[in-house]
């Protein structure tokens, strides 16, 4: 396997040698990817192997994909597979590389006022939270996690409202549309923030929230502050959460300044799905718990 890694590494270096003086790319990714701590492990190793540096812009998946559609970044690394596929189909991305997965989990306070503890049926648990009027914190930021939450609400059969909300990111504001059950501003709180901030807010309010498992473990076990929220519902197949990386298509932005750095972006994507990248992902643990599971090479050693 070591020989395979070396061959792969020489391929990557060859693919980027034209940029030897400036191997820097911009990547838009999700707040959950950044908050998990995984990038703090991956990116220094990437730089050691290839000399490549990645400037990270973390935001919700919807905003990250829009960065790619606007030609503002060279690569996107997100977790909303339907939007990822559409991004490639519409020609904004060249190819989706499946990188890894974890899962979504429903969190809540230890006293569990809605009585959802131990439920595997995520839709049923959400319906019980609404029926109890127990406080629920939504990211409300057009992220992959927010998309999954809306999917679950739609599955409950409850009456839903469609609203417009203005959210801010990097000094810019944008308008998003989303659905939610009755009770916005009462028991249902939409905060327009990333995963880490949503977890901290839900913990302060002793509320329920939907999170990706990787960020939850990092905040629960990887910080001195800890987190009081408990996993109350998990294991539903609908909560599977795959991540993909997509180089932006330079053909869409031929006249952009600076130009899309496709060769570097594609080399980065291929490094993530190589035995080297996949092994680092599989080995990343917080207090002995694995946060992500590789998809390109599931049984990587």
| CA pair distance 270, 221, nearest whole angstrom | 31
Q: Which two tokens stand for residue 203?
A: 């913990």
CA 126 to chain centre: 21
pLDDT of residue 164: 81
pLDDT at 22: 87
Q: pTM score, two decimals?
A: 0.83
Distance, CA of 90 to CA of 68 (rounded, Å) = 12
Q: What stretches in the chain show pLDDT beneath 70?
A: 1-21, 167-173
Please name which of 100, 63, 31, 65 lies closest in space to residue 248, comparing C-alpha atoms.
65
Paired with 243 in beta bridges are 100
Cβ proximity of 27 and 57 under 8 Å: yes
| Pairing mode of beta strands 230-233, 97-108 | antiparallel
Correct CATH for 103-239 of 3.40.50.880, 3.30.565.10, 3.40.190.10, 3.10.20.740: 3.40.190.10
2-101+241-294 and 103-239 have identical folds: yes
Distance, CA of 45 to CA of 51 (rounded, Å): 9
CA-closest candidate to residue 100, choices 241, 195, 238 = 241
- Sorted by where each begins, the domain ranges of the chain are 2-101+241-294, 103-239
CA 121 – CA 155 distance, rounded (Å): 11
User: Tell me, what's the pLDDT at 169?
Assistant: 56
Helix 144-156 / helix 61-69 crossing angle, nearest 10 deg: 120
DSSP letter, residue 238: G
Residue 114 CA to residue 132 CA, distance in Å, equals: 6
Distance, in Å, from the CA atom of 178 to the CA atom of 154, rounded to the nearest integer, reads 11
Alpha carbons 167 and 83: distance in angstroms, whole number: 19
Q: Which residues contact 207 (CB under 8 A, 6 or more apart)?
A: 108, 109, 134, 135, 136, 137, 189, 201
CATH 3.40.190.10 fits 2-101+241-294, yes or no: yes
User: Which pLDDT value is given to residue 171?
Assistant: 63
Residue 234 is encoded by which pair of tokens? 């998990």
């Amino acid at each position: 396997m070591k020989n395979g890694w070396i061959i792969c590494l020489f391929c990557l270096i060859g693919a980027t040698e034209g940029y030897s003086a400036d191997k820097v790319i911009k990547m838009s990714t999700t707040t959950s990817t950044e908050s998990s701590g995984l990038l703090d492990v991956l990116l220094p190793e990437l730089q050691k192997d290839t000399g490549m540096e990645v400037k990270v812009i973390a935001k919700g998946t919807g905003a990250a994909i829009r960065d790619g559609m606007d030609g503002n970044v060279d690569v996107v690394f997100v977790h909303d597979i339907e939007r990822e596929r559409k991004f490639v189909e519409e020609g904004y991305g060249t190819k989706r590389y499946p990188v890894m997965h974890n899962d979504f989990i429903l969190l809540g306070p230890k006293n569990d006022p809605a009585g959802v503890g131990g439920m595997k049926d995520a839709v049923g648990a959400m319906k019980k939270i609404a029926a109890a009027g127990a406080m629920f914190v939504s990211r409300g930021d057009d992220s992959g996690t927010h998309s999954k939450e809306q999917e679950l609400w739609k599955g409950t059969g409850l009456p839903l409202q469609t609203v417009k909300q203005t959210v801010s990111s990097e000094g810019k504001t944008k308008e998003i549309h989303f659905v939610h059950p009755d009770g916005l501003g009462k028991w249902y709180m939409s905060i327009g923030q990333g995963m880490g901030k949503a977890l901290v807010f839900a913990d302060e309010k002793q509320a329920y929230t939907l999170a990706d498992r990787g960020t939850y473990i990092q905040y629960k076990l990887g910080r001195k502050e800890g987190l009081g929220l408990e996993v109350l519902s998990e294991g539903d197949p609908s909560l599977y959460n795959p991540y993909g990386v997509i180089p932006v298509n330079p053909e869409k932005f031929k006249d952009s300044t600076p130009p899309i750095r496709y060769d570097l972006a594609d080399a980065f994507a291929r490094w993530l799905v190589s035995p080297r990248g996949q092994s680092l992902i599989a080995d990343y643990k917080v207090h002995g718990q694995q946060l992500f599971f590789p998809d390109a090479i599931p049984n990587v050693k």
